[in-house]
Structure 1
Amino acid sequence: MSWSSEIESSQMIEHIVLFKIKDGADSDKIDYIFNGLNGLVRLDQVLQLSAGPVHQLRSASAFTHVLHSRYGSKQDLGAYAVHPDHVSLVKESAPIVEDIMAVDWITDRTIAPPPSSVAKITLLKLKENVPDEVKMEFVEVTKGLNEKVSGIEHFTVGENFSPARAKGFSIGSIAYFRDVGEMDAHKELVNLLKDKKVGDYVDDTIVVDFLVPSVETPQL
């Protein structure tokens, strides 16, 4: 794989997509779409990909499904986005998707989570006119969660660089736990994000838990 000059070879791109599937959508069609999305892990540009239903959602939004994938560069993410197999699935899913959003950030390159682990995605929407230094403080505070919260297998965080579909959310993080029980025992992960030092700047938060499929073929 050729690495982008925009990021270090020790880094990668996190790509999160949240979907709200329409009420009453055909279950076979939903399975077909998400089986197809999981199959995109075979593409050369994809380091890792898993997609499926949301296990738990803490948000005023009503997202039902999530996709998490990783790429070695912004160019690879772009190539994935326009790949015919991906474009075909996007078109086929359009009739059953009521709402969608996506965020992307750069992070240190890390190992793929093991199948059947549990991910907690946290997205933060900051209030308008928040200074860049405060955004950086958010990232640094969130990075510290990896050390403060036991049970996290691995953790990444960064500032979104694709605002077009992010609905104003600008900070993203993902923490992987061994299983649901391990994750549920550490609810302080979300509470730490409400620290008074930075909490006054937060306009909205989305927290999504999802299960990594039991069969996955990571390429990291």
Structure 2
Amino acid sequence: MANSPSSETEIIEHVVLFNIKDEDDQDPSKVNAMVNGLNGLNSLDSVVYLTAGPILRTRSLPSSLKFTHMLHARYPTRADLSTYSLSDQHVSVVNSFVKPICDDVFAIDWAVNLVGPTVPRPGSAMRFTFLKVECEDEKEKILEGMKKIKESLDPFVQISFGENFSDRGKGFSVAALVVFPDLIELDGGEEYEDQMRSLIEKFKVSDDHFIAVDYVVPRLTPVTPVTTNHLIDELSGQKSD
């Protein structure tokens, strides 16, 4: 489901960061199985858009955290996000692929009236920024600052931001996402980076309260629920019927 560049759609943003434990020594087939299993969740009816893959680069991260992969998804409502989370396929992927090889998971969710496509094109480059802001007054001012950044950059990029409602966000309370057409545009997006950095410095957000990661939307071959079941059988050494 996609919408025209000028239309506005209410959606829920869902971002999960994963850390593959002992990544250098990890069996690549298990990492690939996790990524393929996660991408297979885009077949669920409650999902508008979903991709998973390696983080391109980390621009800022508290010293206590490390992340290697991420999932980004969009849903029409919070009820749809809940339906996705509780679905048998999602639970199976998490238990079979994620938990055995990941030692840390971080999730942030927020609601937004999104302007532009709800389904980013493959090759689109994204920058995710998460802030830990405990003061409610400062949180509101930061969100207002993000609104001004959005207004100053429209219609050149898509910007989504809001207050986190996930209880798995390790205390991070504000999220922002900017979508550029490609990596070249992201690397050249100095105006957005300067404005965001200025906002962070204005409210004295410390490095330990600031996460920024870059991600490129992969070009995916559709993965069906049946294929996901085959992955589970293959990983467990069983032959699928």
For normalisation by structure 2, the TM-score amounts to: 0.78
The farther-off stretch of 102-111 and 150-159 is 150-159
**What's the offset of the Cα at 1:181?**
1.3
- Is 1:102–2:107 an aligned residue pair? yes
- Segments of 4+ in structure 1 off by > 4 A? 149-152
**What's the offset of the Cα at 1:86?**
0.6
2:233 corresponds in structure 1 to none
**What's the offset of the Cα at 1:140?**
1.7
The farther-off stretch of 9-18 and 153-162 is 9-18
2:4 corresponds in structure 1 to none
2:41 corresponds in structure 1 to 40
- Give the whole-Å Cα distance in 1 for the aligned partners of 2:38 and 2:101: 15
- Give the whole-Å Cα distance in 1 for the aligned partners of 2:45 and 2:94: 19
Q: Which of 54, 65, 70 is the matching residue for 1:66?
A: 70
1:77-110, CA deviations, whole angstroms, 9 ceiling, x for partnerless residues? 0010011111011112212101111000000144
8 A Cα contact 1:123 1:170, kept in partner: yes
**What's the offset of the Cα at 1:136?**
1.7
- Give the whole-Å Cα distance in 2 for the aligned partners of 1:209 and 1:157: 16
Where does 1:9-158 land on structure 2 (aligned, <5 Å)?
10-23=9-22, 24-58=25-59, 59-60=61-62, 61-92=65-96, 93-110=98-115, 111=117, 112-126=119-133, 128=134, 130=135, 132-149=136-153, 152-158=156-162
Q: Which of 175, 191, 194 is the matching residue for 1:191?
A: 194
- Give the whole-Å Cα distance in 2 for the aligned partners of 1:216 and 1:140: 39
Q: Point out where structure 1 has 5 or more consecutive residues left out of the alignment.
A: 1-8
8 A Cα contact 1:104 1:160, kept in partner: yes
Aligned-pair Cα RMSD in Å:
2.2
- Give the whole-Å Cα distance in 2 for the aligned partners of 1:65 and 1:197: 25
More helix by share: 2
Number of residue pairs the alignment of both structures matches: 205
**What's the offset of the Cα at 1:161?**
1.0
Q: Point out where structure 2 has 5 or more consecutive residues left out of the alignment.
A: 1-7, 223-241
Distance change (3 Å), C-alpha of 1:57 and 1:152:
farther
